[in-house]
Amino acid sequence: MKNVKTNQIENTTAVTENNVAMPAPEKKTRRRSESGFAKVLEAFARLRALAVHFDQTRLGPPDDLTLEALERAYREAYDLQTAVGNARADFRTAALERQLLIDNFDALAAQAVGQLAGRGAHPESVRDARGYVQKIRGERIGEKAEQNPASPHYNPNAKNISASQTSSAAKIQTFLELIDFLEAQTAYGSVRMAGLTIGELRATVETAQYLHAESIEKAADLTHRRGLRNRRFYLDEDNLCDLGLRYKELVKGAYGTKSAEYKAIKAISFKKRHD
């Protein structure tokens, strides 16, 4: 059996504080990874159910493989798996609430700029304000930068919009910059439309900042709980996989490879992760 690298197991929450898309737990690779824990837990439950029918005197199990120890190990693993599920649900909720609000930024920004333009602001000021809207949307204000060094238009210093510029944190910052810009425009001072006054726009940003911070906190909690769960399943000295494999060997040694007892437990698989 191959050893499991600790950093490969523990670093399983590929979630960044700035993710715009749905978090890593929703991706196919994450779902496949998470399914392995459920399979290990099910396998251990099957082993535990069979263990009660074996002659414990004949087995003579060590302290960590007694029926009580197996039940305790299963319950600990089950609770840790449940905690991960709850933390994942909390993270999804926080991330979704944040994203629903931030997704509305471009519409609010466009409305606000429309108010500015409609109130006779200088065309250059309106153009500058629209630049913020384009940035929030992830649109290029100028032409796409040429990336081919062989092109006569290649500029090594020119950059296209990166993922970091369209992240949740970047959008919040850009929206805040737009509000500061609008507040400095005399024409915008007469705006009274609900949701578009400077005070209301700032309140919207504050809510987004709070939700963003909460999603970061929930992501960190999910990472922490995954780490605890992963160690119990795969990495601890008495990890669930090793306990299951050792118990199978114990039954084989007590009853023999051709026994009905060993054949009943032989097919239960405990595979360690090494992805």
Mean residue pLDDT across the chain: 85
* pLDDT tens, position by position, 100-143: 999 999 999 999 999 999 999 999 999 999 999 999 998 755 55
Q: Looking at the domain assignment, is residue 273 inside a domain?
A: no
CB 180 within 8 A of CB 29: no
Q: Is residue 128 located within the same domain as residue 184?
A: yes
Residues 94 and 114 reside in one and the same domain: no
pLDDT in tens, 182-204: 999 999 999 999 999 999 999 99
Average pLDDT over every residue of 151-167: 58
Domain end residue (candidates: 209, 228, 258)? 209
111 & 151 share domain: yes
Confidence of residue 162 (pLDDT cuts 50, 70, 90): very low
d(CA 264, CA 61): 18
Q: Are residues 20 and 109 in the same domain?
A: no
Q: Is 256 exposed, middle or buried (CB count within 10 Å of its CB: 0-12, 13-18, 19+)? A: exposed
Task: Report how far apart, in Å, the C-alpha atoms of 57 and of each of 52, 54, 60, 143 are.
Answer: 12, 9, 5, 79
pTM: 0.75
Same-domain status, 20 and 154: no
Same domain, 197 and 253: no
Same domain? For 58 and 146 the reply is no
Question: Mean of the pLDDT values across residues 231-260?
Answer: 95
Q: Are residues 148 and 19 in the same domain?
A: no
Range of the domain at 15: 6-102+217-266
Number of domains in the chain: 2
pLDDT (tens digit per residue) in 33-58 = 678 899 999 999 999 999 999 999 99
Do 192 and 224 fall within a single domain?
no
Instruction: Evaluate if residue 212 carries a pLDDT over 50.
Output: yes
Q: Do 126 and 251 belong together in one domain?
A: no
Structure tokens at 165: 């510029």
205 with 111, same domain: the answer is yes
